[in-house]
Amino acid sequence: MSDSSLSTQERVLKAMSNVITSDELQVESSLEELGVDSLAAIEILFEVEEEFDINISGDSNKMHRLKTVRDVVEGVERLLAGDEASFWGEETEEEKQAAIDAAAAAASPDSAKDETPGEAPSA
Amino acid sequence: MSGNRQIVVTGIGVVTACGGDRETFWQSLTSGTTGIAPIDPPQPLISFPNVAACSDFDPEARFDVRMHRKLDRSAQFGLAAADEAIAHSGIEWDDNLRGRTGVIAGCSIGGSHTQDLCYERLYKLNKVRSEPMAVPNIMPSASTSQISMKYGFRGPSFTMTTACASSGHALGMALWMLRTGQLDVAVSGGHEAMLNLGSLLAWDGLRVVSSSVCKPFADKRPGMVLGEGGAMLVLETLESARARGATIYAELAGFGMNADAHHLTAPSLEGPTGAIQAALADAGLAPTDIEYINAHGTGTSGNDMNEIAAIKSAFGDHAHKLAISSTKSMHGHTIGAAGGIEAAATVLALHHGILPPTINSSPLDPACDLDVIPDVARKQDISAALSNSFAFGGLNAVLAFKKA
């Protein structure tokens, strides 16, 4: 159950502690150093959604934009402030370039062949 | 590669209601100690009183929190049994051998507890999102993958699902793949965990579950008792076991399987008879070589009478000279794990020269007039034994073991 007397930051840490058992879990911790892999990432998203009863749309491929626990806290704060699309923060330069490349490839005649799948769990 | 390598058992791991490890399991089977107990907590919706639950199994003591979350109870049983069997075998794996080792497990239902929780969240708690680990936890092959990943086994690995014969089929396939050189070591058996409200209610609907305990082959037997658990055997070639000076617990000598093509729940006579004959032929054994059968023996009226008739049909006069027991009277019917758990019991019987009893079987049904070992274990050295698994839907698997 959520406890509204806690700050957003405290609630994010509490939600994440269901996934990350390390004593190193603090607001400045790097997600990479906490060992957050692709499965842990989707579990963290689930726990945060449950804690705040919010929907974080989009797939976990955007997880790399979040470098630290503070990035998750700030994403939740933006989402709670009413900007639903902003949880993940700004698009990175690499993503912008990848989008341009993909558009160019789509325009070329034999585009169907080299679609690169993301890192999402594949069946 | 060779088509006739001899395959032996060098490691055994078991998790059951009557023993959470190999030693306790064997002590219970040979002392006639049951794991069957009242459903806990009580379930008012369920009309039958008892199950065989692994109530001493403590996942938090066995797995860290991250691992625990990635494992349904079914996969936990598979992994725990594999851990014990692998340690028991004493094999020291190098990278080459890891590439030649596979995991072949049986499981009927998969992550039933996870599925039950998902439905509870959705339909009862009105939760709008699902546990993210639900899909990888529900897949029946989860345990096979987890064992493969934990130990780095990269050989052919898969999970078979044939209801109550799942792990009989798994062990049979492991035997054939080892024999033909597709694997050098196999970790094979099965696991099942489905004692949750949704599954119990589904079984209640079939009207085959006992209103008391499990009394295989007894007169007026009340039906089966649902159980849970897992068992894994480490199988390797006789040559490799001898070369490393391993203790050999038994030879897995043959496997027979077929289908009744008859009925969804009622067995045929021809199917089980033919599967027994096929296992004998595959093992190169004559019917008179068999001295003990660990029966499918579910305790239902239909199975037990039919199984006895099939044994008579396959063995003729020799049927009266071989000893029979159903250890389900103690560990319950563990569905997809049953073939593995009962294979472990059969191997231990050959190794120790002790045949476990069928508790609660007296007085016997007059239609089951063979040597069903009652209540007390029998000390008897035997040279060959069968373990029967006959599934709903008529899918039959029989394993033949020889004393090593």
Instruction: Please tell me whether residues B181 and B64 are part of one structural domain.
Output: yes
CA B250/CA B384 separation, integer angstroms: 9
Residue B65, chain A, CB below 8 Å: the answer is yes
Residues 121-180, chain B: which have Cβ within 8 Å of A?
129, 131-133, 135-136
pLDDT digits (tens, 9 = 90+) for B92-134: 999 999 999 999 999 999 999 999 999 999 999 999 899 899 9
Q: Range with the lowest mean pLDDT among A72-86, B280-294, B334-348?
A: A72-86
- Tokens 């919010």 belong to A54
Q: Of all residues in chain B, what percent carry a pLDDT higher than 70?
A: 99
Stated pTM of the model: 0.92
Band (pLDDT 50/70/90 cuts) for residue A117 is: very low
Q: What is the pLDDT of residue B402?
A: 98
The answer, yes or no, to whether residue A111 has pLDDT greater than 90, is no
Taking CA atoms, what residue in B is nearest to A37? B66
> B269-278: per-residue pLDDT in tens?
999 999 999 9
Instruction: Spell out which residues of chain A touch residue B129, defining contact as CB-CB under 8 Å.
Output: 46, 49-50, 55
On whether both B236 and B271 belong to a single domain, the answer is no
B137 and B12 within one domain: yes
- Among B176, B210, B243, give the residue marking a domain's end: B243
Residue-level pLDDT at A58: 77
Mutant choice from A25, A39, A59 vs B, greatest count of B C-beta within 10 A: A39
Chain B, nearest residue to A19 by Cα: B66
Given B223, B243, B263, which residue is the final one in a domain? B243
CB burial of residue B183 (10 Å; 0-12, 13-18, 19+): buried
Tell me what the mean pLDDT of segment B263-290 comes to: 96
Helix (H/G/I), strand (E/B), else coil: B387: strand
What are the φ/ψ torsions at residue A22 (nearest 5 degrees)? -65, 140
Specify whether B69 is located in the same domain as B196. Answer: yes
Maximum CA pair distance of chain A?
58
- Mean pLDDT for the stretch of residues B178-188: 98
pLDDT tier at A123, thresholds 50, 70, 90: low
Query: Which is more confident, B255 or A92?
Result: B255
- Per the domain annotation, does B248 fall within a domain? no
Residue B250 counted as domain residue: no
Q: Do A46 and B69 touch (CB under 8 A)?
A: no
Å between A100 CA and nearest CA of chain B:
32
Of the partner residues A21, A46, A55, the one whose CB lies closest to the CB of residue B132: A46
Measured between beta carbons, the chain A residues lying within 8 angstroms of B133 are: 39, 43
The predicted pLDDT at position B31 comes to 98
Q: What is the CATH number of the domain that holds B388?
A: 3.40.47.10
Question: Do both B150 and B170 map to the same domain?
Answer: yes
Domain-terminating residue out of B186, B216, B243: B243
Question: What's the confidence (pLDDT) of residue A57?
Answer: 85
Instruction: Flag whether B65 is in a domain.
Output: yes
Mean pLDDT, chain B, as a whole number?
96
Residue B2 included in any domain? no
Task: Judge whether B164 counts as a catalytic residue.
Answer: yes
Predicted local confidence at residue B69, as pLDDT: 79
Q: With contact defined as beta carbons under 8 Å apart, do B249 and B404 qualify?
A: yes
Q: In the structure encoding, which two tokens stand for residue B37, read together?
A: 């107990």
Domains of chain A: 8-107 (1.10.1200.10)
Look up the ipTM and state it: 0.77
- pLDDT surpassing 80 at residue A103: yes
- Kindly state whether residues B102 and B192 are assigned to the same domain: yes
The answer to whether position B1 is within a domain reads no
Single out the residue of B234, B301, B241 nearest to residue B265, CA to CA: B301
Element (DSSP H or E) covering residue B51: strand B50-51
Contacts of B350 (CB under 8 A, 6+ apart): B249, B250, B382, B385, B401, B402, B403, B404
Is B111 in the same domain as B41? yes
The active-site residue out of B107, B118, B164, B368 is B164
pLDDT value of residue B2: 47
DSSP assignment string, A52-82: HT----S-GGGGGG--BHHHHHHHHHHHHTT
User: pLDDT digit string (tens) for B217-237?
Assistant: 999 999 999 999 999 999 999
Please confirm, yes or no, whether B68 is among the known catalytic residues: no
Whether B69 and B174 share a structural domain: yes
pLDDT score of A118: 47
**Residue B155: pLDDT above 60?**
yes
At B93 the pLDDT is 98
Say if residue B1's pLDDT is above 50: no
Nearest C-alpha of chain A: how many angstroms from B65?
8
What lies within 8 Å, CB to CB, of B100 at 6+ separation is B155, B183, B184, B185
Q: Is residue B180 part of a domain?
A: yes
State percent of chain A over pLDDT 90.
45
A50 and B64: CB-CB below 8 Å? no
Number of separate domains in chain B: 2
At B212, give phi and psi (nearest 5°): -140, -120
Q: What is the pLDDT of residues B55-76, one digit of tens each?
A: 999 998 988 877 777 899 999 9
Nearest to B66 among A21, A49, A50 (CB): A21
Looking at the domain assignment, is residue B340 inside a domain? yes
Confidence band of A91 (pLDDT split at 50, 70, 90): confident
For residue range B5-19, list pLDDT tens digits in order. Answer: 999 999 999 999 999
Q: Which pLDDT score is estimated for A61?
A: 75
Could you list the residue range(s) of the whole structural domain that residue B333 is in?
Answer: 255-402
Q: What is the mean pLDDT of chain A?
A: 84
Query: Which backbone phi and psi does B11 adopt, to 5 degrees?
Result: -155, 140
Contacts of B61-66 with CB under 8 Å at 24 or more apart are B64/A21, B65/A21, B66/A19, B66/A21, B66/A40
Q: Which of B6, B5, B19, B3 is nearest to B401 (CA)?
A: B6
CA dihedral B179, B401, B347, B1 (to 10 degrees): -10
Q: Are B212 and B49 in contact (CB under 8 A)?
A: yes
- Which tokens go with B403? 């004393």
Compute the distance between CA of residue A57 and CA of residue A8 in angstroms, rounded to an integer. 19
Q: Are residues B223 and B271 in the same domain?
A: no
